[in-house]
Amino acid sequence: MAKRTIVFIDDEKINLLAFRAQFRREYHVHCTSDPAEFLTIIRSGSVHCVFSDQRMPGTTGTELLTRARELHPLLRAAIISGYPEDAAIQTAFRSGTVDAVFEKPYTTQEITEFIEAHPGNSPNAPE
């Protein structure tokens, strides 16, 4: 079975390095801090899941995931944030723009379960 491709955007390099280290053996992992690069990666190929931090300079994760979903409506999308109660995150989840919200620090298991779940199944929905 081919490895699934996942993409993660965060403005903190340490978070990108940690994410890549945790998932690089099981998946094709693209990590970036650049919103334009994030969208280019999504446009360029078959991406299964995208993950985004919420609070970044000049943009938010919910804005980026909205644009990603415009490019690929069936793309699985999740926010990884230290602020899961953020109103924009909750609105994006309720509207279906975001399939799941993971609170920092997340566990490898919960991210893996999300990646492996079938579309429409959100194992980590906010309560």
Mean pLDDT by 10 residues, the chain (127 residues): 90 97 96 96 91 96 96 93 93 95 96 81 37
Full domain range(s) for residue 64:
5-45+53-116
- Give me the pLDDT at residue 120, please: 40
Confirm whether 65 is domain-assigned: yes
Residue type, position 73, single letter: P
Who's near 49: CB < 8 A, 6+ residues apart? Answer: 4, 6, 7, 75, 76, 77, 78, 114, 115
Asked whether residue 127 is domain-assigned, the answer is: no
- Does a structural domain hold residue 98? yes
| pTM as predicted | 0.90
Q: Is residue 95 part of a domain?
A: yes
Instruction: Write the CATH number for 105.
Output: 3.40.50.2300
Whether 15 is in a domain gets the answer yes
Q: What is the DSSP letter of 40?
A: H
- Predicted confidence at residue 1, as pLDDT, reads 63
Which helix or strand (DSSP H or E) is residue 30 part of?
Answer: strand 28-32
Q: φ, ψ for residue 57 (rounded to 5)?
A: -60, 125
In a domain, 96, yes or no: yes
User: Per the domain annotation, does 122 fall within a domain?
Assistant: no
Q: How many domains does the chain have?
A: 1
Is 121 inside a domain boundary? no
